[in-house]
Amino acid sequence: MRDSLQFFTVKVADGSGCLFQPIDTEYSYVLTAKHVVDGHNNIEIVRQYINENGQVENESLEIIGNPFLHIDPNKDASIIKVKKVDNIDGLLRADLDLIEKENWYLCGHPETRVNGNFSYRKNRLKIENPVELYIEAEIEKAVTHSEIVGQSGGGIIKSENSCFLLAGIQKKMAVEDDVESISRIHFSPLSFFDEIVEENKDVLSPLFPPYIGAFRTLIKEIFPFPNLLLKQELIRNTLTTISENICNGITPEEIITKYGSRFLIEGTSSHILYHKSLWKSLLEFFTILTLYEEPIDYNDLSSVHKKRKMFIADTDNWTKKLEEIYKSDLSEIEKGGAIVVCATNESQTNKLEISSAELAIIDISVPIDKMNISNTVENPFNDLRLVNIFKFQDCIINSGVQLASITGVNSKTKIKELTDGII
C-alpha cells in the first residue's frame, strides 16, 4: 500500500515543504519555513512519489511569483504559490487544542537521502507542548540533527479515517546533538501562515478548501444516484439546477461564521467542520428543502431546524454514533421534527432510518433529563425521527416504475411527489 502522505510533500530548494489547497481554485500553496527559501534566487519545487507501478515520479511544480515571507523575524514561515495541484483538498487544518497528540509524522526530504533515487521520508512523532512561539514534538525513534537536515519546512501530518490533517510546518531540531539528544523538533503553527495571508490578502486566499469559499465547487459531486439507470441525468439536472441557485445565496464560510460547530455531533473534532462530506450533504439538504418549497432563511437557520437539522458524524457507519447523536444539541428541533445525519466516510448506508421501536431496544445510556432537547419534546426517541441523508436518494433509486413518467416538464413535481415526507 502506497504512503498517501508523500503526495502532500515536496522538495523546496535545500529543504522541504507541504502542499495545501486554499479557497482560491486558481492556484495551490506550498507551505514551508522562511529560512528554506530566504536568499534563494532560483527555487525549484519537486513532488517526488511512488506511482501505482512502483516507479519513482519527479513532478516539477510551476511557481507563481516570489515567496511570501512572514514579516516577523521571529516567525519562520513562508508561502509559495504554485500552479494548481489536483487532489490535495483532502488535507485539512487541525486545531492543536482539540486534536489527539499521537501518531503524527514529520514528512520531508532529508539531505542524507537526496543523492538516492527516492528521498522522501517520514518520522513518526508525538506533539508535546508549546515552546515560546512554536510547538515542540518528539520523534518516536532517536534521530540526530544530521538525519533531519533537509526536512525543515516539511509538514506535520497525520492520516485520519476520512481525511488528512496538517498541524504545522517544521522549523528545526529543538536543540543541537551535542547539547541534548531527545529527538525533538519545533514546528510553526498554522496561525503563522494565516498571518501571511492577512498581510497579503489582495493576492492570497485563506487556508481552507475551495468548497468552504463556494458551494458551487461541489455541484458535480452531489446526488450521485449510484445504480440508478433510468432518467439519472434528468433527475440530477433537475436537482442541481435548484442547487445552483442556492450557491448564489450563501457560502459555507458564512455559515461557519454564524453557526460555528452546531452541525457536529457530540465529541466530534473541530476539523470535521471543514470536511467535504458535511458541505456536500448540507447542499443536498438545502436543495431538498427548496424542492419541498420550504423557505430557507440563511440568517436564521434555527427556524429551519425546527423541522429538520443536519448533523455530521465522523465515522464509516452512522449507526455507531447513536450515543453521541443523543448527547448533541437537539434543542432547536421541535416535536415531530427530524435529526438528519451524514457520515464522513460513508457514501451509502445500509440503514436509512432508525425507528422508535428499534431505539427502544438499543442501549443508549443518555437519560432524557441530561439531553439538550426542545421543551416541545417529551421523549426524543418517539418525538423525533432519526434518518440518514441518503434516504432521499434511496427513495428515488427504488422508484423504478414511477420514474418512467418523468419528463423535462414535470421532473421537479414528480421528484417532489416521490420523496414527499422522506426527509
pLDDT at 363: 81
pLDDT over 80 at 98, yes or no: no
Q: Give mean pLDDT, residues 167-177.
A: 75
**pLDDT over 80 (residue 181):** no
Mean pLDDT of 205-234: 93
**Are 353 and 341 within 8 A, CB to CB?**
no
pLDDT at 147 over 80: no
Residue 106: C-alpha distances to residues 148, 152, 205, 206, 253 (Å): 10, 9, 25, 23, 30
| pLDDT tier, 97 (very low <50, low <70, confident <90, very high otherwise) | low
Q: What tens digit of pLDDT does each residue of 149-168 get?
A: 779 999 999 998 889 999 99
Mean pLDDT of the chain, nearest integer: 91
Best CA proximity match to 210, nearest among 91, 94, 320, 299: 91
* Residue spans per domain, the chain: 4-199, 210-419
Indicate if the alpha-carbon torsion angle 408, 410, 415, 416 is positive or negative.
positive
**pLDDT over 90 at 388, yes or no:** yes
Question: Degrees (nearest 5) of the Cα angle 93, 95, 96?
Answer: 120
What pLDDT band is residue 178 in, cutting at 50, 70 and 90?
very low
pLDDT band at 177 (very low <50, low <70, confident <90, very high): very low
Q: What is the pLDDT of residues 25-81, one digit of tens each?
A: 999 999 999 999 998 888 999 999 999 888 999 999 999 999 999 999 999 999 999
pLDDT at 208 over 90: yes
C-alpha cell at 356: 422508535
pLDDT exceeds cutoff 50 at 381: yes
H or E element: which one contains 246? Answer: helix 232-247
Is 80:37 a contact under the CB 8 Å cutoff?
A: yes
Q: Give yes or no for residue 2 having a pLDDT over 80.
A: no
3-state helix vs strand vs coil in the chain, percent to 5: 30, 25, 45
- Burial letters for 66-98: b for 16+ Cβ neighbours within 10 Å, e otherwise? ebbbbeeeebbbbbbbbebbeebbbbbbbebee
Report the pLDDT averaged over residues 325-329: 96
pLDDT digits 0-9 by tens, 261-276: 999 999 999 999 999 9
Q: Confidence band (pLDDT; 50, 70, 90) for 112?
A: confident
pTM: 0.91
Residue 251 pLDDT greater than 50, yes or no: yes
Sheet holding 308-313, edge to edge: 308-313, 338-343, 385-388, 353-354
What's the confidence (pLDDT) of residue 362? 85
Beta bridge partner(s), residue 313: 343
- Which residue reads 454514533 in cell numbers? 321
Q: Which of 107, 118, 188 is nearest to 148 (CA)?
A: 107
Q: What percent of the chain has pLDDT over 70?
A: 95
- At 113, the pLDDT band (50, 70, 90 cuts) reads confident
Measured CA to CA, the distance from residue 372 to residue 105 in angstroms comes to 38
Cβ(81)–Cβ(91) under 8 Å?
no
pLDDT at 406: 92
- The fraction of the chain above a pLDDT of 90, given in percent, is 76
How many C-beta atoms surround the C-beta of residue 133 within 10 A? 15
Residue 239: pLDDT band with limits 50, 70, 90: very high
8-state DSSP, 286: H
Domain 4-199, CATH number (from 3.90.1150.10, 3.40.50.150, 3.20.20.220, 2.40.10.120): 2.40.10.120
Q: Mean pLDDT over residues 359-386, rounded?
A: 91
